[in-house]
Amino acid sequence: MFASKLLICSALLMLSGAVLSQSSISLKDAKFKTPDASSEHPAPLTSTTTTSTSTTSTTTEKPTTSSSTSTIAPPTSPTTSTEPPKTTTTPAPVPSTTPAPQPFPSPAVGTWNASCIMLQMAAQLNFTYETKDGNLTHGLYNIPSNATVEDKDCDKQTVQTIHLIWGPDTSKQSFLMFFDNKNDSTVLSSIQIHLTLLPEEFPNAKENQTLQLIHRSDGEFKTPEKMSYHCTRAQKLNLTETIDAKQLIGWITVSNVQVEAFRSANATGFSTVHDCDSSETSDVVPIAVGIALAALILVVLISYLCARRRSTSRGYMSF
Ligand SMILES: *[C@@H]1O[C@H](CO)[C@@H](O)[C@H](O)[C@H]1NC(C)=O
Ligand SMILES: *[C@@H]1O[C@H](CO)[C@@H](O)[C@H](O)[C@H]1NC(C)=O
Ligand SMILES: *[C@@H]1O[C@H](CO)[C@@H](O)[C@H](O)[C@H]1NC(C)=O
Ligand SMILES: *[C@@H]1O[C@H](CO)[C@@H](O)[C@H](O)[C@H]1NC(C)=O
Ligand SMILES: *[C@@H]1O[C@H](CO)[C@@H](O)[C@H](O)[C@H]1NC(C)=O
Ligand SMILES: *[C@@H]1O[C@H](CO)[C@@H](O)[C@H](O)[C@H]1NC(C)=O
Ligand SMILES: *[C@@H]1O[C@H](CO)[C@@H](O)[C@H](O)[C@H]1NC(C)=O
Ligand SMILES: *[C@@H]1O[C@H](CO)[C@@H](O)[C@H](O)[C@H]1NC(C)=O
């Protein structure tokens, strides 16, 4: 009887020991994950090396292009890629009404330096515009990575601006980003885009259509002073026609963002990174520590109970 109790106790101890070691492994994993991107969940399971992470990062970008295909080409079949190209008679895609059926390219990452503001991002617009026959439709547009810094406002201590332009001289397209500095942190205050729908890019658009697209920030890109905001994943920011409008007219999707405003004049490159997902990962570590502590307490408790039982049973035996 005493031997069986000892057996049960030692079994319990081994079990709790297993729990403890497992939770400490997960703690190690959590600590290992923190500096990396959030797209690494399959890595600990398969135990493959860094090649798997690169493939996952490329697959994360693909859904945006595939979703753009489905929206751009509502009429024709998406199966054309599987068939050999010579069998079907192509119905001359160049002229008439329907847009080209190939997927819309994902935006390229651009880097811009306006001394007080350094900006790196890839941005795609999805907006509503009026067609020649008076209907509303959706258009996609990538901010070109070779846009140039036209202007900047670096003088003020509380508000700074970067102004990018691109396109033909007759109709310059523009992109402005405003940053606020308050309470020792930097935050995006608004994005303002002026887009002229050129007939070569939007052949079905009503003539001379110029759109004003404004995002009024709700504290996006917030980062402590003297740090740069970094976010690899795509973020969808809503766009309205004026700063106070209630009706949405589109979205700007930004990815691979790194931005820093209110830089000192002699700074080189970006300052220390403040990642948008760092707050999520920092939660994992306390949780893992908590689990490990709970397991430790369990082990101590069980061994204490076992020791007590053994001593009491010894007490009975000695009688
Ligand atoms: C563009 O926006 C419209 C309306 O919000 C949506 O239906 C469509 O799927 C979007 N397209 C892409 C490629 O995000
Ligand atoms: C455009 O609107 C007209 C009526 O105003 C309608 O007949 C036509 O189907 C619409 N076209 C599209 C592409 O929605
Ligand atoms: C930017 O790139 C486009 C093609 O991607 C090209 O047509 C245009 O001339 C370039 N603009 C500048 C300013 O280099
Ligand atoms: C700055 O932060 C303090 C507390 O952290 C808050 O009470 C105050 O309203 C903030 N000021 C601004 C301008 O956000
Ligand atoms: C568009 O603008 C051009 C020149 O700016 C002008 O000649 C033309 O009449 C305009 N078209 C419409 C429909 O307003
Ligand atoms: C746009 O998004 C912001 C948050 O980024 C939100 O506060 C605001 O209500 C949204 N605007 C509209 C018109 O939905
Ligand atoms: C940058 O300039 C400031 C004064 O504008 C100076 O205090 C600081 O030491 C300089 N930093 C470097 C790294 O040169
Ligand atoms: C940004 O431009 C400023 C001059 O306007 C230059 O001194 C600085 O080295 C540039 N920084 C980078 C990272 O290119």
223 lines ligand 1 (CB under 6 A): no
Q: How many angstroms does the Cα of residue 83 sit away from the middle of ligand 4?
A: 61
At 287 the three-state DSSP class reads: helix
Q: What mean pLDDT is reported for the chain?
A: 75
pLDDT at 10: 54
From 62-66, 157-161, 255-259, the region with the lowest mean pLDDT: 62-66
Higher pLDDT, 19 or 47: 19
pLDDT at residue 299, rounded to an integer: 87
pLDDT at 307: 86
Confidence of residue 11 (pLDDT cuts 50, 70, 90): low
> Which ligand 7 atom is nearest residue 266's CA?
1
User: Residue 252, Cβ neighbours under 10 Å: how many?
Assistant: 22
pLDDT at 251 over 70: yes
Q: What is the pLDDT of residues 98-107, one digit of tens each?
A: 555 678 999 9
pLDDT exceeds 80 at position 175: yes
pLDDT of 76 reads 43
Task: Give which of 303, 319, 316 is closest to 6, Cα–Cα.
Answer: 303
Tens digits of residue pLDDT in 176-223 = 999 999 889 999 999 999 999 999 999 999 998 999 999 999 999 999
**Among 61-70, 149-158, 165-174, 258-267, the least confident range:** 61-70
Question: Within 13 A of 232's CA, how many CA atoms are on the CB side?
Answer: 13
What average pLDDT does this structure show over 138-163? 94
What pLDDT does residue 304 have?
Answer: 86
Specify the residue with its C-alpha closest to ligand 2, atom 11. Answer: 135
Q: Whose CA is nearest to atom 11 of ligand 1?
A: 68
Q: How many CB atoms lie within 10 A of CB 198?
A: 15
Helical segments of the chain, H only:
2-33, 42-46, 51-72, 278-318
pLDDT at 279 over 80: no
Q: Is 207 in the pocket of ligand 5 (CB under 6 A)?
A: yes
β-bridge mates for residue 187, sequence order:
180
For residues 273 and 1, what is the distance between their CA atoms, to the nearest angstrom? 63
* Residue where the block lists tokens 């007759």: 170
In this structure, the residue with its CA closest to atom 1 of ligand 5 is: 208
Question: Domains of the chain, with CATH numbers?
Answer: 114-283 (2.40.160.110)
Average pLDDT over residues 299-308: 86
Q: Among 208, 209, 210, which residue has the most ligand 5 atoms within 8 Å of its CB, making it the best to mutate? A: 208
Ligand 3, atom 7, residue with closest C-alpha: 167
Low-confidence winner among 70-74, 87-91, 148-152, 304-308 (lowest mean pLDDT): 70-74
Report residue 296: phi and psi, to 5°.
Answer: -65, -45
Give Cα 198 to chain centroid, integer Å. Answer: 30
For atom 1 of ligand 2, the residue with the nearest CA is 135
CA 218/CA 221 separation, integer angstroms: 9
Report which of 32, 205, 31, 48 is spatially closest to residue 129, judged by C-alpha positions.
Answer: 205
Ligand located closest to 245 CA: 6
pLDDT tens for residues 225-245?
899 999 999 999 999 998 888
Mutating to test ligand 1, I would choose from 251, 253, 254 the residue with most ligand atoms within 8 A of its C-beta, which is 251
223-224 and 185-196 strand pairing: antiparallel
Residue with CA closest to ligand 6 atom 6: 218
| Minimal-distance CA residue to ligand 3 atom 14 | 146
Directed axis angle between helix 278-318 and helix 2-33, to 10°?
Answer: 170
Residue among 69, 72, 127, 138 to mutate when testing ligand 1 (max atoms within 8 A of CB):
138
Q: DSSP class of residue 206? A: P
Helix, strand or coil, per DSSP, at residue 285: helix
Give 83 or 119, the one with higher predicted confidence.
Answer: 119
Any atom of ligand 1 within 6 Å of the Cβ of 138: yes
Neighbours of 175 (CB within 10 A): 24
**Other beta carbons within 10 Å of 303:** 15
Q: Which amino acid is at 38?
A: S
Mutate to test the pocket of ligand 2, among 96, 131, 135 (most ligand atoms within 8 A of CB): 135
* Contact 268 CB / ligand 7 (< 6 Å): no
How far apart (Å, rounded) are the C-alpha atoms in residues 206 and 135? 9
Backbone angles phi, psi at 145, to 5 degrees: -75, -15
pTM for the predicted model, two decimal places? 0.65
Q: Which of 50-59, 125-134, 236-245, 287-296 has the lowest mean pLDDT?
A: 50-59
Report the candidate in 267, 261, 117 with the shortest Cα–Cα distance to residue 185.
Answer: 261
Query: Has residue 109 got a pLDDT over 50?
Result: yes
Distance 204 CA to ligand 2 centre (A): 13
What are the pLDDT digits (tens) for 127-139? 999 999 999 999 9
CB atoms within 10 A of CB 200: 6
